[in-house]
Amino acid sequence: MPKPKNVSESLAINSQMIMPNDTNTLGNLMGGNLMRMVDIAGAISAQRHSNRIVVTASIDNVSFENKVPLGDVITLEAKVTRAFNTSMEVMVKVYSENIPAGTRIQTNTAFLTFVAVDQSGRPIEIAEAIPETKEEKELFAAALRRRQLRLVLGGRMKPEEANELKAIFGL
């Protein structure tokens, strides 16, 4: 098994200005363009953790909290929250900055799952992710519940086997 790595080692930060070809008819960043950027930031983070090629297995939850207008600079911060055997969950936070106005707000949060693969595309074992901060430890613990929910919803785990989810509801 590969040597464990701290969660902080997977941090990937990408920034770019929102241009006209990124926007919808209202002059705001199109959701599909945002998803592409989120997927790329997440993949970079997952590759930093695994030192492998990664493929996107799922995009679980994306919240659209605020619009991102033309001309704003968005910054995507991606970090592995937990690694499993061959897969890892990555959280991507998106911030929008209006530089002339001096404002910066969080606009989106997304959770994605990536699988590390070898050159033939077969899943390969990855290092454990070690959380250090309080937030990282909370995300690490919650990642198992999110994983079980993904597996149940995808038909790959029976609800009665999802012990972490059952514990939430006192079952």
CA distance 87 to 55: 9
Query: Class for domain 5-130, per CATH?
Result: alpha beta
Sorted by where each begins, the domain ranges of the chain are 5-130
Strand order in the sheet with 87-98: 12-17, 73-83, 87-98, 103-117, 53-64
Which pLDDT tens digit goes with each residue over 18-54? 999 999 999 999 999 999 999 999 999 999 999 999 9
Which token pair is 93?
């936070």
CA distance 81 to 131: 8
The amino acid that residue 14 corresponds to is N
Is 0.85 surpassed by the pTM of this model? yes
Which pLDDT tens digit goes with each residue over 84-117? 999 999 999 999 999 999 999 999 999 999 999 9
* Structural contact between residues 29 and 36, judged by C-beta atoms closer than 8 angstroms: no
**What are the DSSP E strand ranges found in the chain?**
5-6, 12-17, 53-64, 73-83, 87-98, 103-117, 129-130
Q: Output the CA–CA distances (angstroms, integers) from residue 54 to 69, 71, 83, 117, in the order listed.
A: 31, 32, 13, 6
Q: What is the pLDDT of residue 45?
A: 99
